[in-house]
Amino acid sequence: MENITVATQPIEGQKPGTSGLRKKTRVFMGPHYLENFVQAIWNGIGGVVGKTLILGGDGRYFNDRAAQVILRMAAASGAAKVIVGQGALLSTPAASNLIRQHKTDGGIIMSASHNPGGPDEDFGVKFNTSNGGPAPEEVTNAIFAATESIREYQIVETQDIDLSVVGNQTLGDMTIAVVDPVTDYAALMETLFDFHAIRALFSGGFRLRFDAMHAITGPYATEILERRLGAAGGSVVNATPLPDFGGGHPDPNPIWAKDLMDHMMGPDAPDFGAASDGDGDRNMVVGRGIYVGPSDSLAVLAANAHLAPGYAEGLMGAARSMPTSGAVDRVAEALGIACYETPTGWKFFGNLLDAGRATICGEESAGTGSDHVREKDGLWAVLLWLNILAVSGKSVAEIMADHWATYGRNYYSRHDYEGVDAGDAAKMMAVLTSRLSGLPGQSFAGLAVTTADDFAYNDPVDRSRSEHQGLRIEFEGGSRVVFRLSGTGTVGATLRVYLERYEDDPTLLDQETMVALAPIIAAAEEIAGITAATGRDAPDVMT
């Protein structure tokens, strides 16, 4: 085994986005690409000498090769130990848990989350800090700066390391501990939820369909839902992680999880359906005949969390990303707890969770989680739902009807325009930004604008400020539209348009979402000229 120093040069564009660095897999496989970025992580965090790290990924194409490179680079730079999920697999929430449980200095997660996988699709690398959460902007900025000045990297030359067997081995002076990816995570879940009540629910004939979408959650869901909780064998479908996720988008929404939607809307629908994404941090929840939007799911979980043992003492606070609907705000108000509004991306919840200001957090993009780890957690949300259903004895439809009757309903939808020309998208946003201050007082499609701004966040814990986090336009009556460019795409730009309308008239709580939102959709088009700017007359994806 030899420790070698390889000369390299900065590679353009290695700036981490909303959640790590994501690129086409072939870009990551190109000469020095992964190596440069990993060395930049080491350099950006002050080196890894004597440190312990966690390593795992969602199993997508190149996951296994990348793990070998990262281990060899950790050893070359003097890391003391790397704890790796067997087969180099770990879901994002399980990785976060291991970082915390083993009190390590952080970890690397190999994933492009909900983006498709394969040689012609996407790959990604993300660094999480010692609290278990995604590196905050200060750290990702330091890593990016390191990518711009890199001249060499260290790596050891060695045979492939066998990651298929649980146990310890050494690579030079570094220990590699291969651990079962599921065990510790499953144990954590048992401390939070009433497994006894959920088991009784299943033994009473309650039927579940959990679609793991050929991604990382399969082994976790099978162990927890089928083996420990007694859901019928076969309740977890598409449970084996595949390098290309079976050719699908591992994105749990009604479009990409259409098969699950068809089952849940069909004549012999199970009682509860759920799906998760590539790396297991997102969730989709659907009852028999009723889809639950992520913003509503967050609100329902906040309102009912006390039914689970881990949250029996109540919540310290709630938090949501800015584009997420205000449904949870109403719950927080009723509970008398604080509700924070953060920029998009889980990294912004970290300080609130660490400081004990928030217990539950969520995003409209199907991410919910709590202070049990520092990532959003798909299976956690599913288990909390099951716990609530088991203890309340209600169906999903009944829970939603009760919730809306109590708090009113925030009709909500997100429209995505994908692969738009990056220049066109930037121009549209720039023009809109310049017009913001003049919008209040004007009417669009019959809706009067009350406020319009470019969202900036002042972190109440560390006082850091993040600007340009999305353009918000509010209308009379509490409706709003938000415009934002995605920070996770790998081709062109993705424009996200978030639409919301609040309704508390008891006779109007049962509308089709798109019907309820029609005036907001018309106003959004009139304000921004989306069709003219993007050349698209309809969104690619509506969730």
Indicate which of ligand VG1, Co ion, none lies near residue 344 (CB less than 5 to 8 Å, by partner kind): ligand VG1
Q: Which residues have a Cβ under 8 Å from the Cβ of 538 and sit 6 or more positions away?
A: none
Choosing from 243, 250, 345, 362, the residue that interacts with ligand VG1 (CB under 6 A) is: 345
Q: What is the DSSP string of 432-481?
A: HHHHGGG-TT-EETTEEEEEEEE--EE-TTT--EE----EEEEETTS-EE
Residue 416 host element (H or E): strand 409-420
Distance CA 525, CA 532 (A): 9
How near is the Cβ of 113 to Co ion at its closest, in Å? 3
Is residue 350 involved in binding ligand VG1 (CB under 6 A)? no
- Determine how many CB atoms are found less than 10 A away from the CB of residue 254: 18
Nearer to Co ion, 383 or 523 (CB): 383
Is residue 113 involved in binding Co ion (CB under 5 A)? yes
What part of residues 378-397 is at the interface with ligand VG1 (CB under 6 A)? none
Which residue's Cβ lies closest to ligand VG1?
113
Nearest to 35 by CA among 172, 156, 153, 158: 153
How near is the Cβ of 497 to ligand VG1 at its closest, in Å? 12
What part of residues 472-531 is at the interface with ligand VG1 (CB under 6 A)? 486-488, 496
What part of residues 180-239 is at the interface with Co ion (CB under 5 A)? none
Distance CA 143, CA 44 (A): 4
Which amino acid would we find at residue 370? Answer: S
Catalytic residue among 19, 113, 235, 297: 113
Is residue 277 involved in binding Co ion (CB under 5 A)? yes
Is residue 466 involved in binding ligand VG1 (CB under 6 A)? no
**Token pair for 310:** 């881990």
Q: In this chain, which stretch among 25-33, 228-236, 339-347, 428-436 interacts with ligand VG1, using CB under 6 A?
A: 339-347
**Binding pattern for the stretch 275-294 against ligand VG1, x by CB under 6 A and - elsewhere:** --x---xx------------
Judge whether 113 counts as a catalytic residue.
Answer: yes
* Inter-axis angle of helices 513-528 and 422-435, nearest 10: 80
Is residue 281 involved in binding Co ion (CB under 5 A)? yes
How near is the Cβ of 19 to Co ion at its closest, in Å? 7
- Show the beta-strand stretches assigned E in 40-100: 52-57, 81-89
Q: In this chain, which stretch among 281-289, 291-299, 468-476, 522-530 interacts with Co ion, using CB under 5 A?
A: 281-289
- Are 150 and 36 in contact, with CB atoms under 8 Å apart? yes
Is residue 113 involved in binding ligand VG1 (CB under 6 A)? yes
Is residue 371 involved in binding Co ion (CB under 5 A)? no
Choosing from 123, 346, 417, 498, the residue that interacts with ligand VG1 (CB under 6 A) is: 346
Q: Please report how many Cα atoms fall inside a 13 Å half-sphere around the Cα of residue 473, on the Cβ side.
A: 31
**Token pair for 429:** 């946003």
With 0-12 / 13-18 / 19 or more C-beta atoms within 10 angstroms meaning exposed / middle / buried, residue 237 is: middle
Distance CA 275, CA 282 (A): 8
**How many residues of this chain bind ligand VG1 (CB under 6 A)?**
18
Which amino acid would we find at residue 130? Answer: S
Residues near ligand VG1, by CB under 6 A = 18-19, 113-114, 277, 281-282, 321, 344-346, 363, 365, 367, 486-488, 496
Residues near Co ion, by CB under 5 A = 113, 277, 279, 281-282
